[in-house]
Structure 1
Amino acid sequence: MTTRRRLLAGCAAGLAGLAGCSGLSDLPGAGEDSPERVDVRSVAGDLSRVDLPESPFPAAVPPSLAEAHRERARELLSDVPREPEIPNGAVRSELVDERERAADDVNDEEGVHEWPVEALGDWRRRRGEGAAVRGAYRAATGEGDGEDLAERRQSVRASLGEFAADWAYRAPDPVAAVLAHAPVESTVHDCRTLLEPHRPYPEEPLAAPFRAGDAVGDVERADAALADATGLRAAALEEWTGPPSQWSPVVSGTQALRHSLAETMDDRIEWWLDAEYDDFDRDLEGTPARWLFYEARRRVQSRERDARQARERGDHATAVVEAAQALVATDVFETVVDGVRDGAYGGETTADRLRESSRRAREAVQAALEARSALDGNRPALAVALLRPALLTQRSLVDRLAEGYGSADRALGEFAWAELYARTVPDAAPFVAERLREAAETADEWP
C-alpha cells in the first residue's frame, strides 16, 4: 500500500541529488547586478518543448462540438456588415476592427489547444467574441437586446440546473470518474460564472454598445459551455456499458486527499508559507533562488485554494485533481526551501546555464511521461493529469522566451520548478489512485 509517508519519502529520495552541490546548487542566478544580461530570444532557438501526450480525458471528444461553435460564430458575424452604417465614427471604426479580428479567429486554427477538451474552451471564446460583435452592432444601431438576453440567461440557467441534478459520477471506477468528470465540472463552472451578471447589459445600450456586446457574449459563451458539458459527459458515458455511480468514492477520496494535504502543509511547510525571501540566512537578491522560492510557494497556495473552492462548490472530481497537484507542489516547495537554506540555486546567469536548466526540465517532464508505462489501469492518464502544471510550464516558458518575454533568472527558477514537480509525479499518481481505491472499498453503498 502506498502511504503519504512513503510518497513523501520516495519523492525526497528521488530529489535528494538535485538539492546537493552537484545538482540544483549549480543553477545560475541573475538580477540587476548580473555581469551578463542574457538575451533570452537568442537562447530560445536552442530550446524545445515537450510534445503533448494524449489527453487524460478518457473518451474521444466529438468534433461536432467545436464545429458547432465555429458555425455559430460565423452565423453571428454574418449579421454584422463589413462596413456598418453607424453615425459615431469612433464606434464604427472599433466595430469594424473587432469584426475583422473575430472573423480571422473563426477561420484560423492557430491558438487552439492541441487537446480537444481544451480546444473547446478556445472555440467557446471565439463564439462569444462573435456574439459580442453582433451585440455591439445591434446596440449601436438602436436594436437593444436587454429583454431577450435576460430571458436567455434564465433559460440557460434552468437547463444547467437540470443537467447538474443528474450527476452521479458514473464510471467503471473512481479514477476513471475523476478523469471523465473533472473537465465537465470545469466547463459547468465556466457556465455558472458567465451567467452571473458581472457585466450587465447597460440601461442605455446606444451609449455603451461594447458593454452591451460583452454582456451578450457572456451569455452566448455560457450557452456554449452547457452544450460542451452535455456533450463531454455523454461522450464519456458512451465509453462504458452501464457504468455505476462513483459518487460516494469520489467524495470520500476528496476528503482523504484534503486531510493528506492539510497534514502535509501543517507538518512540513506551514511557517514558510508566510515567510519572505529575506527570512533566509543568505542574500537571495539577484538569484534564481528568489524566483524559485516565490514560484514554488505561489503554486502551493493557488492549488490549495483551487482545491478548497472546488470542494465548496461541490466539484469533487476537480477537487481530487487540484488536491493531488497541491500535494505535489507542497513536496516541491519543501525541497526548494531545504535547498535554499543549504545554499543552492545561486551563481551567475549565463546563456549556457539557461539552456541546461531548460534541458533538465524537458528531460524530467519526458521521464515522467515515460514512467506511465509502469502504471496500470487508468493510472497513466491520471499521471498526465497530475503532470499538467509542469508540462504546460515547460512548454509555455519555451514559447515566451522565443517571443523575448521574461528574464533569464526568472526563467531559470521556473524551469527548476517544472523539473522538481515532474520528478515528483511518478510517485504521486499511485498514491492518489490508492486513496481513491481505499475510498471505493470503504464508502457506504450509494442508494
Structure 2
Amino acid sequence: MKNVLVIGAARSGIAAARLLKRAGYNVVLTDMKEIEREGLDGIEVFDNGHPECLKERTYEFIVKNPGIPYTAPLIQYFSERGDKIYTEIETASRIAKNFHYGAITGTDGKTTVTTLLWEMLRKKDPRAQAAGNIGLPLSDVVLEHENEKLDVALELSNFQLLGTEAFHPEVCTVTNLAPDHLDYMDSLESYYASKMKIYANCTPQDWFIRNVDDEQIMKYATNIPCTVIDFSLKRDDVDLYTKDGAAWLNDIRLFDVADLKIVGAFNCGNAMMAACMAYKLGVSLEDIREVIRSFHGVEHRIEFVREIGGVRIYNDTKATNTHAACAALSAFDRNVILLCGGKDKHISFDDLKQFDDEVKHCFSFGQTKDHFKEIFTRQTSVGTMEEAFARAMKIAVPGDVVLLSPACSSFDQFRNYEVRGEIFKEMVDRYRKD
C-alpha cells in the first residue's frame, strides 16, 4: 500500500485524507493544531505539531493545504527532497474520471462567476456542484459522486493552482489580474503567472475565455493550448461582447443586459463569462436567461443589507484587495461613506485615489487604518469596524451609501472575510438611528 502525507487538517485536508484512504492509500495526516478524530478511522494522525518521524518516510505524493506557503519549513524540506506536492484539487480530479469542469480563477469576481455558472448548470442537472475555493472541497464532492458524470463549477485560487499537474477543465477563465497575496507569493509576476496554470492541460476542444480588456492577462496568457474566446466589455470585435443591449457569443444572443439584477459593469462581465461557460457545458439558452433574470448576487459581494433612514448599506467584505474595492466603488455615483482596512498584504492603495470625489468620508480600521490618510481627502482612522460603522451612521443623510469594502484581508481582527461580513450585517440589523 502506497503512503501519502496530507499536511493541514482544515476542511479540504480532512476531505482529501478520507478520499485517499478510500482510494486505497495509506494516509498520514498532520497539523500544527489539534485534529478532531471523528471520521478518520484508518488514517494515521499527528497533531499539535509535525514530528521529525514524518521526514523518515517515503511518500507517493504529498497533499498540502493551499494556505500553507511553500516557504514553510516542512514543505521546503519535502520540496528540496524532490517529493511531489499537490493540493487536494489535483488528487480529487485524478480520482473522479467523469467530472466536467468549468474552472474560474482571477483576482476578483471568481465567486460571482462560479455561483452563476453553478445555478445555470443546475438547470441542466440538479446534481451539479460548486466547489473549490468557494467553500466546498472538491474531495467532498468526489466522495459522494465519484463514479457519476457530473458538472462542477470550480473556483480556484492561485494557491490551489500552484499544486496542480494534470487538472483539466473543459472551459476556464481568468476573470482579471490585480496585485494581491504579496504576503504569500515571491513576487507579483509569480502571482500572475500562477493563475495561467488553469489552462495548462487543456486541449484544442476546450475553451479559455480571455479578458482582452485586462492588460496583465494579455501579457501573461500565452501559449494557450485550447480554443481562445476573447471577451471584452469595451469592444465588439471579439467573441464575447455586448451590443444592442445584449450579451453575445459571436452571433448567439446569450441574454439581455437589462435583465441583470446585480449592479456594476464588472458584474455584467461576470455574467457574460458564466453564460459562455454554461453554454460550452451544454446549458440551454433558455435556462441561461432564466438564471440571469433571477440572480440577485453573492453573499458578501456588494450585498445590499438594509436601508436606514434613506441610507443604503452594503456589505462588500469579500473585497480583500484594492481592485475589488475599486469595482465596488465604481458601482455607485457619489455620496459613498467607505469603511475599509484590515490586514496589511503589502499592496498599494493608490488605485483608490480615483474615487476621492465619490467618497464622502472614509472611516478606516484595523492594521492598515492609517494607510488611507494619503488616499482620501476626507478620512478618519478608528480602531474597529464597529466604531467605523457607528461614526459613518452619525454623518450619513438620506441618499448616502455606507459601503463596507475593506480592500484588505480580514485576518488582523477576524477569522475570515465571511465572519467579518456576518458581524457587519448583525451590527447593521441591531442599529437604531436616534
Same fold (TM over 0.5): no
Q: Return the structure number with greater relative CO, CA threshold 8 A, min gap 6.
A: 1
In the superposition, the TM-score normalised over structure 2's length comes to 0.26
More strand by share: 2
